Amino acid sequence: MSFEPQIPEWGLDSFKKHQNKLIEYHNWLKDTGIKTGLISKKTDQFIWDEFIIHSLYFAKLIKKYKNLKECEIIDLGTGAGIPGIPISIVNKTNVSLVDNKQKRIYELERLVKILNLNNAKPTKQDANTILNKAKNSIIVMRCYVSTSSVLKALEKKQLKENNLTIFVSSNSKSTDILNKMFHVKQEKFLINKNNFRYIDVITDM
């Protein structure tokens, strides 16, 4: 089935030049990703819109909120490299791709060689351990845990003292459970012509 590798208006300028590598990643997801069980069977368009375009909005928000020179980026519960791989394609900052399943790490190690991504580092670790010890980091999570779970696991001082900013994929309802101790801004964006998605941005401000 054919698909349209569209990029919504919000990403046209900065992402169009990376389109070839993003399409290479799309091909890997739809072949190796599905074959090895890193993602379940999905249409080509779904893989593009939900995995690649959704990931690119994380990259766009990181630029909006953080000075990238100061930080490394950590993708917790990365699975098939979502959102960490598209983020590492569109910027030069180091991105750690963290998962606790060795099989996923082996596949990601092969992938970063195929895509020639020197700034993407697959790492087998427990996400909770990393969340507690990370410093000067931008942490991204897509479909791994909810914003409320992240807030429960965090101490307020951690964000400021360790210089952390956290981006978590969420749904529109999560504004109900946002914790007053933290500043959480919900960003809403289109992944294609009709479908909105949300990312919660957790900062110490």
> Which residues bind to ligand SAM, rule: CB under 6 A?
77-79, 82, 98-101, 104, 126-128, 142-144
Provide the minimum distance between the beta carbon of 131 and ligand SAM in the complex, in angstroms, as a whole number: 9
When CB distances to ligand SAM are compared, the closest residue is 79
Residue showing tokens 């750690």: 96
Instruction: Give the separation between CA 120 and CA 191, rounded to whole angstroms.
Output: 24
- Return the bridge partners of 200, or none: 168, 186
For residue 149, give both structure tokens: 């779970």
Closest CB to ligand SAM among 70 and 86? 86
For residue 154, give both structure tokens: 């965090």
Provide the minimum distance between the beta carbon of 120 and ligand SAM in the complex, in angstroms, as a whole number: 14
Provide the minimum distance between the beta carbon of 32 and ligand SAM in the complex, in angstroms, as a whole number: 15
Closest CA to 22 of 109, 117, 106: 117
Helix (H) or strand (E) holding 123: strand 120-124
Closest CB to ligand SAM among 140 and 201? 140
Closest CB to ligand SAM among 53 and 82? 82
